[in-house]
Amino acid sequence: MYKLIRSVLFLIDAEKAHHIGMKGMSLLHKILPIKWFKSLFNVSPHQVPINIESLNMPNFIGLAAGLDKNAKYFRALHALGFGHIEVGTITPRPQPGNPKPRLFRIIGDKAIINRMGFNNDGVHAIKKRLQTKPKDIVVGANIGKNKDTPNENAINDYVICFTELYEVADYFVVNVSSPNTPNLRALQDKEPLTNILNALQQKNFLKKPLFLKIAPDLTTEQLDEIIEVVLQTKITGIIATNTTITREGLNISKAEIENIGAGGLSGSPLFKKSIEVIKYLRKKLPADILIIGVGGIDNADKAQQMINAGVCAIQLYTGFIYQGPKLISEIINKVKV
């Protein structure tokens, strides 16, 4: 069923297809009995429940931030089999993001390039939607800063999002690693990153899980600094990794890549970089600092490699776009955790 849907959607502009697909899935979830909905998308009845920092999840497979930016579809996505759903990236004020077109499929490489630019409805609208979230659906809030907020004031944007969403989100992710907001990645430097995480921890009176999402393009020296910050601020762990600004491992021509332009690359070509970062972090970090693996996971073998590398959970994005819900079932049924 999904292959048919995908073949139609792939005839349309990628961003328009995304909205049509998500709205269609949500509509089916609302009108069909849940058993029919799950049968339609081949949702596996088999589950491997896990617990992450007191969060009870039906399985170890989450949805990465970016697909449900505005917390409109988390109920239907949960019904597809995701153990947790990460919404956002969320900024204090609504913003339209970068000019279109800004989302591009690279079908031959099972990849996507995006330069969305944190387009979202703003923290207040998203908070309102999450206030109706059922307790059995684990939803994380991926938070960032507005594009026009200078880096020296970025800490205020993160604190606003954190405090506004604190009662409605189950966990938080600090996004300082998107390549699509100017100068955002500079916040991964030791001093600004420490200041942001310490400010959030001071507000974290319930000790909700707090993760840092990092780029795959960091040097070992930069990773060592991030490890120091993580240990000093005592956050829960790291989500590795975000999209890459490199274009390594692609089969399409240089001219086609240049025609697409700037943006973060996700999908199958990212897997090697992501797992290398994860292996380095796992070797350096104490066991109680958690790592969630994301980047290029599009089959059970890659998911197993991530688990073997030491992650406590994985997240899907581009692999889900190309493979559909069957990927969740395949991983659940084949991967040993």
Catalytic sites, residue numbers? 178
Distance CA 256, CA 94 (A): 32
Structural tokens at position 217: 């393009």
Q: In a 3-state reduction of DSSP, which class is residue 109?
A: helix
Whole-number Å distance between alpha carbons of 6 and 145: 33
Assigned token pair, 38: 């799950």
Tokens of 17: 């297809």
- Angle at CA 317, nearest 5°, toward 69 and 331? 135
Cα distance between residue 192 and residue 170, in whole Å: 25
User: What does the alpha-carbon distance between residue 70 and residue 334 come to, in Å, rounded to a whole number?
Assistant: 32
Token duo for residue 287: 């066991």
- Residue where the block lists tokens 């399985």: 59
Specify the DSSP class assigned to residue 184: G
Cβ-proximal residues to 204 (8 Å cutoff; 6+ apart), any chain: 162, 210
Q: With contact defined as beta carbons under 8 Å apart, do 315 and 62 qualify?
A: yes
- In this structure, the number of other CB atoms found within 10 A of the CB of residue 287 comes to 7
What token pair was written down for 234? Answer: 């005592």
